[in-house]
Homo-oligomer: A and B are copies of this chain.
Amino acid sequence: MTSQDVILGMLMKRGLTGYEIKHLLETIFSYFYNASYGTIYPTLSKMEKEGLITKESVLQEGRPNKNIFTITDLGKTHFKTYMNSPVLADEYKSDRMIRLYFGEFVEREVIISSLELDLARANEELERLEANYKLWQPTMSPTQEICIQIGIENTATLIQTLTNGLNRLKHIAEEKGDE
């Protein structure tokens, strides 16, 4: 799974610009993938050279011209090859979790306020995912729905676990304060 595979998948439905691809990544894909412009544009150029996609330049008034990329038959073949290749293990690197894991080496308050920030962010993320779900549900395929449900339910669980963890940590902090 490289950015190329993900972009090909996005183009299976309709032609897109690099800018639109980035926007999609930030909204619907953000839960399980992302890429910067520094990846997207060079990848699109490379794919065009290889004949996986074609470029159509559209002149616009009052705003920059744009390049709409459309998948070719060769591109579709490549995408299907990807979809039938062995599934790779998830890549997950969490700075939040690392710091929590090593929490014993910093002051308790640092950890507590960090967890509180995580909790606030998780709540925002949950709202965002639920808003997305309501917005796009009518046009989503069944498997897309499962994707967003996984995102929503995992975030809801995270909120629960963080809340429980915070309560326990605060409890320990109070006990220590009583000594």
Binding site for B on A (CB under 8 A): 1, 5-6, 9, 12, 29, 31-34, 79-80, 83-84, 87-106, 110-111, 114, 117, 141-144, 146-147, 149-150, 153-154, 156-158, 160-162, 164-165, 168-169, 172
Contacts of A157 in B (CB 8 A): 153-154, 156-157
- A98 near B153 with CB under 8 A, answer no
Q: How many copies does the complex hold?
A: 2
Contacts of A149 in B (CB 8 A): 161, 164-165
B92 engages A32 (CB within 8 Å): yes
A38 to chain B, nearest CB (A): 16
Q: Which residues of B contact A100 (CB under 8 A)?
A: 143, 146-147
Q: Which of B29, B97, B146 is within 8 Å of A31, CB to CB? A: B97
